Each structure stands twice: as structure tokens, then as C-alpha cells.
Amino acid sequence: MTRMISTLIVAFAGSLLLSSCQIAGPDLPKTYIAGGVTVDSITAVTGKRTLDGITQSLTGDGQMESGLFSYSGADNAADDVAAYVAELTEEYGAVVEGDYDPLAESGTIQLTVAGESSGMLLTITYGDGAYEVLVEEKETASAPTKEPEEGYPISADDAMNLLLTLTKIETGFTADISVYTKRTDEELTIWNGTAYYVITVVADYEDGRPEEYRGTFYISAEDGAILRYDLETDTAQQLRDGQRTTGGTSSGSGLSAEGAMNRLLTLSKSETGFSADISVYTRRVEETPVNYNGRNYYVITVVADYEDGRPEEYRGTFYVAQDGGEILRYDLDTDTAEVIRSGS
């Protein structure tokens, strides 16, 4: 009887030991939040690990704002970190600061994720099956000097419409830029002596998730050139050359076909007569201008193109003057045209 009781005690103690090995400590966070940015946590990517401790700061409503997260129990800490770095760079546009060797068994890596306000800084120290992730708000990058400017040929509405002409290849986004939330700064920014409209693009979710920063774009108030501004390096990359002239009618060849298309996109629904913004329709421009009543125009045909297999539907034909931006709506039935926007 005594031997049986001893056996039961040993078995019970063994079951307790097995249970204790399965305890993961504090709840594993699914996301990190700092500087207006939300990203997946490292264990949301790598799987369950033991969370040894959290030192964090909280917002007024109890949400985690930033902190230090200590993990253990990884078969290979370097592999976990490499997988997480790949997730951050591919899904959130994170930038690796300094040197990083994904083959190193231990080390420290810093990544920054841009945000609409400041952004997030992650510092990951790893080795021997464990790692720490320090999540902080990133220091705000210096911004160009802003000055109020007026009287430029490109309006704020023009700038927004020009931005909407960018392709996914140019923006680097997974979806068309029209689906994102876009905000134009109230004041123009002077960058290298040129005035620009600054438009910030974010992903805004309806399910309550925090919005995610996608990019900052500069559109020239002088000629419509489009730049993509890098918050991290305080530099800008030119995506599109300017098309508009600043002196009204051009003394040279005037608008290009691309410039005419950009000009067309400034039309409102009241001017086109369409039920939706003209940017949602398929537009085809003839590269060679036609002469109409002694003036050269680019001809742009607008159709509704359906993804469900229905045939495309004709919506209208527009003439955009090569020499000054005047826009006509051409009637195929009567061979006449109506001026719907005067030249600038």
C-alpha cells in the first residue's frame, strides 16, 4: 500500500512538472504599437514562444504603447529574427538601420517603420534561443520648411487628381492608390526652391484597427511633377516629370499626352456628367493630337470596364487642347464639341 501511494505521488508530481513546462508566462501580444504605427509582434510571425517578461508603457485607455518584450524557447533565435525582419520589410515597409547579417547566430538589429506622425523604432537583440524586442516611438525626422504660397497654376484639387494617376508600380502599393485615405497639407512646402503640395497616404480600416502609414508624395504647384518623399532619409525621388507650363499657353509643343490625361482627371462629376469620379473609368488617349477648328487636341475616350465579363460601355470622348489645357466634350452623333473647362 505504501509503495502504491509513493508511485501515485511520483506520477502526480510528474504531471505537475509537465504542466509547468507548458506555461508560457504572460499573454503573448499579437501586435506592437508605437509612434502611431501598429505591426505584428514577433510571435505572431514565428509562433508561440515563452514570454519571460514585459516592461511597457500604456496609453490612457490601457492600450500598449511601447515596451521591452523578452522571449525564450526558440529553437534558433536567428531564424526567428530573420523571419520577423522579412515580415516587417515586406508588409510594413520597415527599413533596416545599419548592418544586419541574417546568418549570424547572435546580434542586434534596428528597424524603423514610418508613420504619419513620428513612426516606430524596433531594436531586437538575439542569441542562444532567446531575444528581446524593444519597441519605441521614433524621433521625428526633420521636415522641409513650410511657407504659405498662392497663385500657382496647379491647385490642391489638381494635385490630388494628378496623384490618382500613379500606377501601383510607381507607388509600390498592393492596391490602387484610389482606395487609400489621402490628406493634403493646408500649406505648400518649399523643397529645393520649388513649391509642392504634400499629400500623405494611409490605409484606413473600418474594423477599428489603427490606420497605417503608406507614403508621402509631393506634387509641384508649378508643373505637376510628382515626388515620393522619404521620411527616414529626408530625401525625395521623382516619380513623374512636370507637364504643365506656368505661363498659360505654351510657346513650345505644350502638353504631352500624359499631361492631357492628367488634365482630364481634374474634371468633377458635374463637368463630366458621370455618376462616379472619372478616375475610376478606363481612359485611352491617342498619342497624336488631332486638329479641330484650327487647334490641336488630344483625344481621350472614356469607357466603363467591368471585371465580371460584361462588355465595356462607352462613356464619352474628350478633347484636351495641347496648347493650353482647354477641355471639350465631343459629341459623336452631331460632330460638335462643348467647352467644359477653359484653358488656364
Our CA dihedral for 44, 48, 51, 56, rounded to 10 degrees, sits at 10
Selection from 220, 257, 221, 255 nearest residue 240 by Cα = 220
Enumerate domains of the chain plus CATH numbers: 24-137 (3.40.1000), 141-242 (3.10.450), 251-344 (3.10.450.170)
The separation between the first and the last C-alpha atoms of the chain, rounded to the nearest angstrom, is: 103
- Count CB neighbours of 71 within 10 A: 26
pLDDT of residue 141: 45
* Biggest alpha carbon–alpha carbon distance for the chain: 115
295 φ, ψ (degrees, to nearest 5): -130, 145
CA atoms of 133 and 76, how far apart (whole Å) = 16
pLDDT score recorded for residue 183: 92
Contact 311, 296 (CB under 8 A): no
Nearest Cα residue to 111 out of 90, 142, 130: 90
SS3 110: strand
User: How is residue 228 written as a grid cell?
Assistant: 515620393
CA distance 15 to 204: 49
d(C-alpha 16, C-alpha 3), whole Å: 20
How many residues are present in the chain? 344
Cα–Cα distance for residue pair 96/109, rounded to 1 Å: 7
Q: Buried b / exposed e across 314-328, counting CB within 10 Å, b at 16+? A: ebbebbbbbbbbbbb
Q: What is the pLDDT of residue 9?
A: 35
Kindly state the cell numbers that stand for 53. Answer: 517578461
Q: CB count, 10 Å around CB of 240?
A: 21
Round the CA-based radius of gyration of the chain to a whole number and report it: 28
Q: pLDDT averaged over consecutive 10-residue blocks of the chain (344 residues)?
A: 39 33 55 86 89 70 69 92 92 87 90 82 92 83 44 83 82 86 89 89 85 92 88 86 46 67 85 88 86 82 87 91 81 86 70
Cross-strand bridge partners of residue 235: 230
